Amino acid sequence: MKLFSTLGLAILMIALSMGVGITVMADSEAPPGDYTKETENGNYIFVMLAPDGKDWSSKNAEIRKVYRHSGLYNKSNSHEPLWKVYWYSFSVYPSSDGKHIVRMGPWAQSTSDLAIAFYADGKQLKQYAISELVKDTDRLRRTVSHFFWQSTLKYNDKEGTVFLKTVDGHSYTFSVKTGEIVEKKP
Report the pLDDT averaged over residues 104-128.
Answer: 96
pLDDT of 78 strictly over 90: no
pLDDT (tens digit, 9 = 90+) per residue, 15-30?
444 454 444 445 677 7
Cβ contact 100:119 at 8 Å: yes
pLDDT (tens digit, 9 = 90+) per residue, 90-111?
999 999 999 999 999 998 999 9
Burial 66-82 (b: 16+ CB within 10 A, else e): ebeebbbbeeeeeeebe
Q: What's the whole-model pTM score?
A: 0.82
Among 1-15, 74-88, 137-151, 164-178, which range has the highest average pLDDT?
164-178
Element (H, E) at 183: strand 181-185
CB count within 10 Å of CB 38 equals 13
Q: How far is CA 2 from the centre of its chain?
A: 54
Question: From CA 162, how far away is CA 1, in angstroms rounded?
Answer: 66
Q: Which numeric CATH code is attached to 31-185? A: 2.40.10.480
Question: From CA 82, how far away is CA 84, in angstroms rounded?
Answer: 7
**pLDDT tier at 7, thresholds 50, 70, 90:** low
Q: Where are the domains of the chain?
A: 31-185
